[in-house]
Structure 1
Amino acid sequence: MYKNLLVTLFKWIFFGVMIGFIIGSTTSFLLHTNDFLGETRKDNSWLILFLPLAGLVLGYIYMNLGTSAGTELYKGNNLVIEGVHGKAKILRRLGPIVYLGTFMTVLFGGSTGREGAAIQMGGSVAEAVNTFFKVNVIDTKILLMSGISAGFGAAFGTPITGAIFGMEMVALGKMKYEAIVPCLVSSFVGHYTAEKIWGTEHETFIIQTVPELSLLSFAKVILLAILFGLVSVLYSQLRHGIHKVSEKYTKKNHAVRAFIGGMIIVVLTFIIGTNDYNGRSLDMLEESFSQDVPPFAFLAKLVFTAVTLGTGFVGGEAIPLFFIGATLGNTLYHFIDFPMSFVAAVGMIATFCGGANTPIAAFLLAVEMFDGQGMEFFFVACFTSYLFSGHHGLWPSQMIYEPKSRLFKIANGKTIKDVEQKKKY
């Protein structure tokens, strides 16, 4: 018995270290390159004019290299989730293609983030390891989850969050605890590889003051979390709606979809008269913790990101959700007697939680990002946002093992896509 335990433990540690090192290195490359491309775009605002052409090229790549034996790489994170559930096969070229697409999106001014590329590269590397070592089907799913963990942990410098995120992302109401060792090892190795070996630096967000614990303070946090959860639903529904409509009217011609999406972003940029909502928008995200930002910045970013990703550009949605939540919190700060940085922080975490449907990972993200400040408030905010966002979210392929509440009359084992389409079974 103990011999089998030690052999299994060694196997998971071996795979976790291997996947973590590779993903930590590739994620570091992703972050450094995104920083360079982001600065290049800021210094050359005219690059936004080429976003439609970039979309045309990106769509062409996905149409010609992104489909094989029923596998559609443009599904992105949804494809990785389906791979964990055994409903799809991850192609090894997923990672390189999504990296190229993310670089193009960031350089030419599409609104996107980073974790999508890191997670999909994690799935790609895990699939390569699966193929090389001829891993069995059950273990293949666990290694895919460890790839997700490594990508998230390295992308945000939050290894504990990354470990849990890999297990929590794929389904609502259930975590596969037998994956804890490879997920934990890969996330920590990925994080320290990116940070210590390759010198990757992550953004820091500082909460200046935390309110005193009181019933009134908790009541305010719950009210805020409800609003942030509903905003995450608004974003998710708009993004999915644009995706569905653009596929319908272009007959899944991804080149045409992205070209039109790029044109819309160019027009919106000129109408608003600023490039603040193009790319990752990290400057305003950081400013929302310390100074006033435009009151409708959250809405602008919501629309820019929904159009960008809904029409076929690629990247991640965590950073845009951070931005939407933090800037909305910055606006609401004027109406609630809470410190600005605290409301921005609650908005950032709760909005992400509502969209990702990962309350435990979101809570741990707050603990790691804010050094444990106000953890009681963040715990309540995360689960409130999770509950009030309903069965909606960023990734329609998420499985619902159990509804969030008995009030939701939903059969176990359905997906968010099934719920949103209101299929009858």
Structure 2
Amino acid sequence: MRRFWEPLLMGRQLLLWLVIGSLTGGLVGVVVTYFLKLLFWSINATSSWPLWAFGLALPGGGLITGLLIYYGAPDAAGHGTEAVIRAVHQHAGKINWKVAPIKAIATITTIAAGGAAGKEGPSAQIGAAVASAVADLLRFSAQQRQKIVICGIGAGFAAVFGTPVAGAVLGIEVLAMGDLWYEMLLPSFAAAVMAYEVAHGLGLTWTYARAAEFLPFSLGLFGRLVVLGIASGLAAYLLVLMMEGLHHGMDSLREKRRWWPPIFPVLAGILLFLLFVVVGRAPGGLSLGLLNQALSGHTVGDFMWWWKIVFVAITLGLGMSGGIITPLFVIGATLGSALSGPLGLPLADGAAIGMMAVTAAGANAPIAAIFMGMEIFGSRLGPDFLIAAVPAFIMIGNHSVYPSQRVRLQKSPWVPISIGVALEDTPDHPLPPPWIRRRQKHTSADSQRPPASMS
């Protein structure tokens, strides 16, 4: 009888999580939509301010952000998604309900004032918090809570980017470097689709310039896209190193010098205003104008990608609040645009491919980045995204904008890493120069691949 009942029981499990995922996605879509509308209203309200006004707004916004985070919810610091990943792995998805509203307000005070951050981190955190609240209401078990929170993460990403397939995959792929929880693909997709449809029905729109054209495949194109992918991985690596350096400096001053934590976002605001005076306001805020300029095939300057890295590292590295994926979009698009000339690529194509390659590297999520590229720019560019995303993913090494990601993959035998622990908890062993490094077989007991339960 087992062979008779097994498909029916599997179908019941599938139907159950399709329903739960859809209901969760609908709720997340409503909350994220109104958060985004408030954020865009705030940005429009400050967009016409003169430069001197940002000299007050940036430090003032930093102070409000610092006070909210320090006294309200420390998990709302930075870009937020890493706190959700940590909650999934360490607390079965249990999210403090206070984090979502504080994260939303702190992000608005950061971005509207000119801080360089994104809108997706708060959306994913809001989605996870809503899903965790649903789990509390329905009295879910720890494993069920973990699953529904993953649905909430994917729904948040889908609503903010307008990409349900990529949002569903990204919500799973960011949990671990080199692994996917296959059981959650369809429930997460159901949540992402429902969130997307609800957000669209409530009037949310997503605008991406789509000037990229199909590139006929050739060996030369393959080589040029690999080079672009390598450069994208190194750019993402540079961003991570700068953010980590500022984090460590901030922690050192707080612990050894007893600095008051809310002062760091204020210092970030002061530094950003000085950069506004020198560079201009284009790399600040969401930089959607800069992004669409690059994706439209217009020049944006050879070093705008560098300035965006600096702006983002200061904003998030010194304790202001916001997401990280949108900044990765902008860094990748401006880098791809700058390298299009030397690589002989159309400007719009270089920007689109660079955008997805930097995202694949920074988030350690190449599959989601490829899907996202195809959803935004069309499936004909899928092979190009793959060719650039994979070397970018390899080149960033064992680093990520999400330090709470679990390690499920050793990218190179010459760079050993403990499997099954978070990136932030892996020992930082020194490496000798490559020319004297011998290939070693990783034999640590924790190198066994853990089960797919993510627990």
Both structures adopt the same fold (TM-score exceeding 0.5): yes
Matches within 5 A, 1:59-74: 59-67=66-74, 72-74=75-77
Q: Are 1:111 and 2:116 matched, yes or no?
A: yes
Report Cα offsets for 1:270-328 as digits up to 9, x if no partner.
122x2112211111111112211122111111101110011111111111111111111
Give the match for residue 363 of structure 1.
Answer: 370
| Residues 79/5 of structure 1: CA separation in 2 closer, same or farther (3 Å cut) | same
Q: Whole-Å Cα distance in 2 between the matches of residues 281 and 41 of structure 1?
A: 14
Report Cα offsets for 1:212-247 as digits up to 9, x if no partner.
101110011001100001100000110121122122
Q: Which residue of 14, 33, 39 corresponds with 1:34? A: 39
Contact 1:247 / 1:253 at 8 angstroms: preserved in 2? Answer: no
Q: Are 1:297 and 2:304 matched, yes or no?
A: yes
Contact 1:172 / 1:403 at 8 angstroms: preserved in 2? Answer: no
Report Cα offsets for 1:185-209 as digits up to 9, x if no partner.
10000011111x1111102231343
Q: Whole-Å Cα distance in 2 between the matches of residues 373 and 207 of structure 1?
A: 13
Q: CA deviation at 1:265?
A: 0.8
Contact 2:332 / 2:358 at 8 angstroms: preserved in 1? Answer: yes
Give the match for residue 214 of structure 1.
Answer: 218
Report Cα offsets for 1:1-44 as digits up to 9, x if no partner.
45533442333122212211111112212322222222222211
Q: TM-score, normalised by structure 1?
A: 0.94
Give the match for residue 64 of structure 2.
Answer: 57
Give the match for residue 159 of structure 1.
Answer: 164
Q: Are 1:12 and 2:12 matched, yes or no?
A: no
Q: Whole-Å Cα distance in 2 between the matches of residues 73 and 35 of structure 1?
A: 20
Q: Whole-Å Cα distance in 2 between the matches of residues 341 and 77 of structure 1?
A: 29
Contact 2:100 / 2:122 at 8 angstroms: preserved in 1? Answer: yes
Give the match for residue 289 of structure 2.
Answer: 283
Contact 2:234 / 2:395 at 8 angstroms: preserved in 1? Answer: yes
Contact 2:68 / 2:106 at 8 angstroms: preserved in 1? Answer: no
Q: Which residue of 168, 173, 177 corresponds with 1:168? A: 173
Q: CA deviation at 1:87?
A: 4.4
Q: How many residues align?
A: 419
Report Cα offsets for 1:127-148 as digits up to 9, x if no partner.
1011111111111111111111
Which structure has the larger Rg over C-alpha atoms?
2
Give the match for residue 91 of structure 1.
Answer: 96
Contact 2:64 / 2:109 at 8 angstroms: preserved in 1? Answer: no
Q: Are 1:262 and 2:265 matched, yes or no?
A: no
Identity %: 29
Q: Are 1:128 and 2:133 matched, yes or no?
A: yes
- Gaps in structure 2 of 5+ consecutive residues: 432-443, 445-455
Give the match for residue 382 of structure 1.
Answer: 389
Contact 1:280 / 1:319 at 8 angstroms: preserved in 2? Answer: yes
Q: Whole-Å Cα distance in 2 between the matches of residues 123 and 329 of structure 1?
A: 33
Q: CA deviation at 1:47?
A: 3.9
Contact 1:257 / 1:312 at 8 angstroms: preserved in 2? Answer: yes
Contact 1:51 / 1:108 at 8 angstroms: preserved in 2? Answer: yes
Contact 1:243 / 1:310 at 8 angstroms: preserved in 2? Answer: yes
Aligned-residue RMSD, C-alpha: 1.9
Contact 1:354 / 1:386 at 8 angstroms: preserved in 2? Answer: yes
SS class of match (2:148): helix
Contact 1:79 / 1:90 at 8 angstroms: preserved in 2? Answer: no
- AA matched with 1:352: T
